[in-house]
């Protein structure tokens, strides 16, 4: 290589491996693995806990959800497609711009995509697609900005290929039944292209780099990396208290309680009944009285006729059915669980306003996992009613005195 050619190329630029691309791939795969383990194979179930873009939570102050969705994926195919594109195209952009400017483009585009999605798309979303579209935007800007360095035929071919990628993906996103967030794609495309307008690719460095320019690029890169790390830490701090908050155990009053359930301590019990309300206005009601269960059965059956969703599952090893629907009036999301145990039906009704349902879902899942059925229920009283549930610590003596107590372990809440 002649000396003049060496001066026009950053030292070692081509020979060096695209380490930033490998780092992004490693982080993305590691996060997906953590989601898979935490969700027991269902990553969608824990997407909110890992920081998916959810407009109501962003409005509640969780700003970091503009950043965290960049590293989340909804399933293995979603991860594989984005990882392959990042490996193939991301390495080329990193080689062209250098690792620092490449990270600037990627992260700015990802945040811009989530911002567009927040402003223009009400549904939740996640994925690196916005950031990847930002790399495409940078690839489009380069031949247009440096026209004299790219031959006309090569420029036309580059633009044709990249614009084809954009158009095809947007068309797929607009297809009926598609769950692709095109606003995130368009936001990422605009964000990455805009960032590239202010960044001189390392491959075009001719003279020794300007010290102040290098300092500015390094500071911006460091700031974005700190922002990314801070977003992950903020999400961890937001979720971990909800996942580990103290619970208290409730069970039906009487001498022979046959079920128990744990409720977070920051929930309020209403009039000593089997009804609790959360700080987010979510409600949980547990009924084992025949008239009350019949009312919930009727509500579930009526909602099914109106198109509610139905699913089979198990709670504490017992068969159960879940009916999910949204009330047309006050726009609440309702989950009714009907649990069959020893020829008796136990009903759990969970309700929350739509704008806080995803916040409350973490508590809902903990409450459901805490449900315990100990033995066959006693015969109902002549009136056909059972006393309401009360705190476990107020009925420890009666539970110990029960001939059925001890057949299965009891999960008592902290004192």
CA dist., res. 407 & res. 175, Å (int): 55
Is 148 an annotated catalytic residue?
no
Residue 61 region, left (φ>0) first, then alpha (ψ -120 to 50), else beta?
Answer: left
The one-character DSSP state at 381 is P
Q: Of these residues, 48, 117, 125, 129, which one is catalytic? A: 129
Q: Which residues pair with 269 in a beta bridge?
A: 276
* The dihedral sign for the CA sequence 323, 32, 110, 222: positive
Is 129 an annotated catalytic residue?
yes
Using a 10 angstrom Cβ sphere, with 0-12 exposed, 13-18 middle and 19 or more buried, the burial of residue 349 is: buried
The one-character DSSP state at 125 is B
With H, G, I as helix, E, B as strand and everything else as coil, classify residue 368. Answer: helix
CA dist., res. 174 & res. 184, Å (int): 13
Cβ(347)–Cβ(267) below 8 Å: no
CA dist., res. 252 & res. 162, Å (int): 64
SS3 helix, strand, coil % of the chain, rounded to 5?
Answer: 55, 15, 30
Q: Of these residues, 48, 78, 117, 185, which one is catalytic? A: 185
φ/ψ (deg, to 5) at 214 = -65, -40
φ/ψ (deg, to 5) at 347 = -115, 135
Positions marked active-site: 129, 185
């Amino acid at each position: 290589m002649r000396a003049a050619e060496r001066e026009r190329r950053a030292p070692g630029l081509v020979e060096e491996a695209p380490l930033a691309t490998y780092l992004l791939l490693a982080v993305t795969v590691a996060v997906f693995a953590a989601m898979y383990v935490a969700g027991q194979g269902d990553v969608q179930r824990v997407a909110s806990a890992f920081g998916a873009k959810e407009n109501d939570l962003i409005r509640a102050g969780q700003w970091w959800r503009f950043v965290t969705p960049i590293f989340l994926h909804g399933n293995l195919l979603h991860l594989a497609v984005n990882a392959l594109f990042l490996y193939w195209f991301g390495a080329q952009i990193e080689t062209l711009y250098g690792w620092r400017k490449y990270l600037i483009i990627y992260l700015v585009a990802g945040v811009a995509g989530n911002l567009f999605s927040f402003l223009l798309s009400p549904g939740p979303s996640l994925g690196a697609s916005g950031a990847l579209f930002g790399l495409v935007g940078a690839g489009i800007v380069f031949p247009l900005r440096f026209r004299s360095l790219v031959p006309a035929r090569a420029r036309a071919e580059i633009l044709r290929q990249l614009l084809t990628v954009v158009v095809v993906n947007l068309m797929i996103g607009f297809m009926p039944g598609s769950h692709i967030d095109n606003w995130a794609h368009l936001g990422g495309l605009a964000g990455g292209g805009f960032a590239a307008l202010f960044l001189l690719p390392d491959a075009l460095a001719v003279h020794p780099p300007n010290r102040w320019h290098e300092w500015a690029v390094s500071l911006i890169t460091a700031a974005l990396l700190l922002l990314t790390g801070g977003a992950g830490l903020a999400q961890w701090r937001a979720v971990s208290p909800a996942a580990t908050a103290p619970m208290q155990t409730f069970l039906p009053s009487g001498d022979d309680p046959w079920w128990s359930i744990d409720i977070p301590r920051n929930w309020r019990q209403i009039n000593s009944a089997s009804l609790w309300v959360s700080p987010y206005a979510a409600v949980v009601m547990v009924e084992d009285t025949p008239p009350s269960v019949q009312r919930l059965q009727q509500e579930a059956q009526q909602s099914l006729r109106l198109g509610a969703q139905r699913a089979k599952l198990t709670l504490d090893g017992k068969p159960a059915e879940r009916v999910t629907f949204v009330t047309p009036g006050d726009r609440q999301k309702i989950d009714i669980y009907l649990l069959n145990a020893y020829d008796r039906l136990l009903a759990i009704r969970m309700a929350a306003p739509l704008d806080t349902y995803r916040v409350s879902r973490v508590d809902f899942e903990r409450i459901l996992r805490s449900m315990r059925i100990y033995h066959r229920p006693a015969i109902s009283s002549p009136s056909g009613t059972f006393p309401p549930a009360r705190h476990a610590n107020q009925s420890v003596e009666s539970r110990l005195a029960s001939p059925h107590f001890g057949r299965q372990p009891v999960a008592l809440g902290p004192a």
